[in-house]
Structures are given as C-alpha cells and as structure tokens.
Amino acid sequence: MEWGDKIEWLQDLAEEGEAIPALGNQPTIPAHLEFAWSAFWALKNDRPLGFAMIGRISFSAIDRFARRYDVHGDAFERLRVLIAAMDAAFVEKVMARPK
C-alpha cells in the first residue's frame, strides 16, 4: 500500500534511470486479486474525511463500482470483503502516522 496509485510514476522514474530502492521490495499481487486491488485504489478517495480522521470506503461506493463492472452475487461479496480488509489496513496505517 505504500506505493498505491503512484506505482506507475515510480516505475517511470526507474526506467529513466532514477534509483528507486522501494521498487525492489514491491509485493506481487496474484492475478486473481488484481481486480480487487485496482478497485480499492479506484475507490480510495471515495471516503468521508473529518477532523484528523479518515473514514472507510462506504458500502454504497463499493456497490456502485461493482454494478459498473457487472459484479454480482458471491463475486460482489468477495470484492466487498477484500476492499474492506484492504481499507481497514490502509486506514490503520494512515492513522498511525505521526501528526
């Protein structure tokens, strides 16, 4: 999650000769999880923000995304659970940062 939606930018910098040590530690996303990973990053800004707080991605945001991509039934539940788990880890990491 450290790289998030900046991964392509970091990869471009590396291709231009810039040393990006963090790219050597980049996790590999299994093919069957790539859609959920992409969905999480597409929805990352669709969350409520408050005073010194970051909210969770809402069910309705996930539902709208799933409807757009024709994800229903068990596939929707799996996507919802995966996004919720990634979101919980993301929020925990963001809230743990020094203010």
Q: Where are the domains of the chain?
A: 30-96
Is the pLDDT confidence value at 89 over 80? yes
Is the pLDDT confidence value at 2 over 60? no
Q: What percent of the chain has pLDDT over 70?
A: 93
Residue 3: the pLDDT is 57
Torsion over CA: 64, 70, 73, 77 (sign):
negative
The total of other beta-carbon atoms located within 10 Å of residue 99's CB is: 4
Beta bridge partner(s), residue 49: 54
Which tens digit of pLDDT belongs to each residue from 19-36? 777 777 777 889 999 999
The total of other beta-carbon atoms located within 10 Å of residue 80's CB is: 19
71 phi and psi, to 5 degrees? -105, 120
The total of other beta-carbon atoms located within 10 Å of residue 82's CB is: 17
Average pLDDT over residues 58-85: 97
